Amino acid sequence: MTVTTLSGWGRAGSSAAQVVAVPPGSPPRLVDHPRGTLARGMARSYGDAARNAGGVVLDMTGRARLHSFDDTLGHLRVDAGATLDEVLRAVVPHGWFLPVTPGTSMITVGGAIAADVHGKNHVAAGSFRGHVRGFSLLLADGSTRWVTPDDREVFAATLGGMGLTGIVLDAEIALRRITTTWLRATTRTTDDLDATLSALDTSRAEYRIATLDLMRTDRRLGRAIVETAEHADESPDAERPLAYDPAPHLTVPAGMPGGLLNRVSARAVTRLWFARAPRRPRQDLVDMAGFFYPLDAIADWNRLYGPRGFVQYQFAVPVGQEETVRRVAERFATARCPTFVVVLKRLGPGGGMLSFPIDGWTMAVDIPAGVAELSSLLDGCDELVCRAGGRVYLAKDGRLRAERVPVMYSELDRWQQTRDRLDPHGRWRSDLGRRLGLCRS
């Protein structure tokens, strides 16, 4: 075992743990440790979900074998350490795609299950849980259990359970058919938050997302570039309609200085972004990787925020609580907070005990970690979200207070009871779990 300092994707905090690389084809060797054990994949959770201070962390990325692929039904069985990128490179040339994918392909299948990830099509397709046919779960006693949706309690506790019910070893996923790697996308701009919410809510496209401008405090607060899309049957490359080989175009070097991303640069980037956006709705054929994973084109883009890193604040509120979305947006704008990536999406009905999505709206905001009074700003946003019956996304969190969790997640008690049955001695632990009271300290 090697003691290594680990951070999340936001790089705003770190802790040291004994890291064990799990070799290909072998199950993890469990070691009793007073600080517990946690599985870790690509560490794309933004805060402390993939850290276990003073304990053991199992690096699962070496376990990345594709076990079987039914090209007729689109059923794939794959190790939990495989990334979505590796999955897509294997199945897209055969005319299959992930039915649900987050904004990066650089997460593992196990991570997708632990966070129950969602995408730009949650209203149409739900979250990742709806497309998992089963998974092998390594339990605290060393036994392995094949879990399907019929195993309701364990399935619902693990999907979104942040790795605290056991270690997912492999999973079977149901894929969706595609005929090309292109989408027919429509891009338009909106003038304010009301128009943005309406554009997302009334669209019938499968994929919908808005990039917001929170750098102004006037009546145009919440203006946005709205993108909607459907899978296309046509391709600019008629001979290779299913070609898929994305690669980063740029790499951010290590040692980037802090302070480059500030209010001045944020305003400049926002102005440039909107200046290039179409005034009227425009239709284009866009490639799949560029639409779903735009930031994957920049390797190590999180380094842009400098050594102090950044915080992503993502919350969801139910339908009917649009005023809360507005009030949170106003807080960021009036705080003169430099916001570089702000996305708004419409969500459909959720599921799972600690799964994030609810029928409503979600907004995600990236903020440099060194912003003055950031803790006070986000605590105030938490209060608004709680009053609205909403919640913060645990996969993005690194600073939520423990007392907020039972308010935000009404099935917390049920999840804890299921976790205690699966792990009565508290083997599975994480920094996030300790901070939020989800596991033993």
For 16-37, the pLDDT digits (tens) are 999 999 999 888 989 899 999 9
Task: Look at residues 436, 325, 324 and name the one whose alpha carbon lies nearest to residue 387.
Answer: 324
pLDDT of residue 273: 85
62-178 is a CATH 3.30.465.10 domain: yes
The whole-angstrom separation of Cα 358 and Cα 342 is 19
CATH number of the structural domain 182-246+255-405: 3.40.462.10
Q: For 76-80, 232-236, 277-281, 360-364, which range has the lowest pLDDT when averaged over its residues? A: 277-281
pLDDT single digits (tens) 249-265: 899 999 889 888 888 88
Give the model confidence (pLDDT) of 314-349 as tens digits: 999 999 999 999 999 999 999 888 988 899 999 999
> Is the confidence at residue 39, as pLDDT, over 80?
yes
Determine the average pLDDT of the residues in 231-247.
Answer: 96
Reply yes or no on whether the pLDDT at 271 is more than 90. no
As a whole number, mean pLDDT of residues 80-103 equals 98
370 pLDDT higher than 90: no
Determine the pLDDT at residue 153: 98
Q: Is residue 178 helix, strand or coil?
A: coil
Predicted confidence (pLDDT) at residue 103 exceeds the cutoff of 80: yes
CA distance 340 to 267: 8
The dihedral over CA atoms of 247, 179, 111, 383, expressed in degrees to the nearest 10, equals: 100
Exposed e or buried b per residue across 57-90, where buried means at least 16 C-beta atoms within 10 angstroms of its C-beta:
bbbbbebbeeeebeeeebebbbbbbbbbbbbbeb
Cα–Cα nearest to 165, from 361, 433, 435, 441: 433
Burial class of 308 by CB neighbour count within 10 A (0 to 12, 13 to 18, 19+) = middle
pLDDT of residue 262: 86
Q: State the pLDDT confidence band at 374, using cuts at 50, 70 and 90.
A: very high
Whether 430 shows a pLDDT value over 90: the answer reads yes
Q: H-helix or E-strand containing 291?
A: helix 288-292
- Judged by average pLDDT, the poorest of 4-13, 100-109, 198-207, 268-277 is 268-277
Number of H helices, E strands in the chain: 12, 21
Average pLDDT of the segment spanning 84-109: 98
Beta strands in 202-339 (DSSP E): 207-212, 224-231, 250-251, 282-287, 298-299, 310-318
pLDDT for the residue numbered 27: 85
Q: What is the total residue count of the chain?
A: 441
Percent of the chain with pLDDT over 70: 100
**What per-residue confidence (pLDDT) applies to 219?**
82
Domain boundaries, the chain: 2-60, 62-178, 182-246+255-405
The reported pTM is 0.97
Q: Is the pLDDT reported for residue 1 higher than 80?
A: no
CA nearest to 429, candidates 12, 24, 40, 26? 40
Per residue in 180-206, pLDDT tens? 999 999 999 999 999 999 999 999 999
* Percentage above 90 pLDDT, the chain: 88
Mean pLDDT, residues 388-403 taken together: 98
Using alpha carbons, list the distances in angstroms from residue 432 to 121, 246, 310, 440: 28, 33, 17, 11
- pLDDT value of position 55: 98
Look-up of token digits 């969602």: 118
CA dist., res. 173 & res. 370, Å (int):
40
Q: CB-based burial of residue 192 (10 Å sphere; 0-12 exposed, 13-18 middle, 19+ buried)?
A: middle
